[in-house]
Structure 1
């Protein structure tokens, strides 16, 4: 995975998109609300669970999602083929994602 070499990455360029930190903070606030609604309490230390095990299992899931996304990015022809097959199953029209900067991105209109 040569693309994982961060030393070859260019410096980030400012743009008119939202800051990733702001997006993450909003997501965290929503997760907190969702967890409170689901469990009747906010996530706190000493809650009777093994926090390290919970975090480790979440990190394992994250690794799987990240690797899948890397594979899809690096195999755009396969991704387009798979989306096309999925699109035929649901009968929707293929469209280009408005937010995506990748030339190979396709989304399924719902």
Structure 2
């Protein structure tokens, strides 16, 4: 009977050991899954952050390009200014040498 009890105790011990190992593997797997989920969330947050940064940079670049275009539209080249001045002088000369100067001519010439 002692042998039978000894074998029964051994089987129970092996069963407890298997259960403990199974529980340990389950716990380890659960921890790995939690780590994987946290890593995935962290990666997603980093990607979202990078996308937002890229989006802000693109918006800033577009804004800068629009401002440059607007400034270029506003800015007049030196050559264009000279031509405009020359044209204005020619118009003023024409208006001055024409028969009696009208009120318009006097107001235009007084502006410059």
Same-fold call, TM cutoff 0.5? no
Range class of TM-score, shorter chain: under 0.3
Q: Rg: which structure is higher? A: 2
Kindly indicate whether structure 1 or structure 2 has the higher relative contact order, using CA contacts under 8 Å at least 6 residues apart: 1
Scaled by the length of structure 2, the TM-score of the pair is 0.26
The structure in which a higher percent of residues are helix is 2
Scaled by the length of structure 1, the TM-score of the pair is 0.26
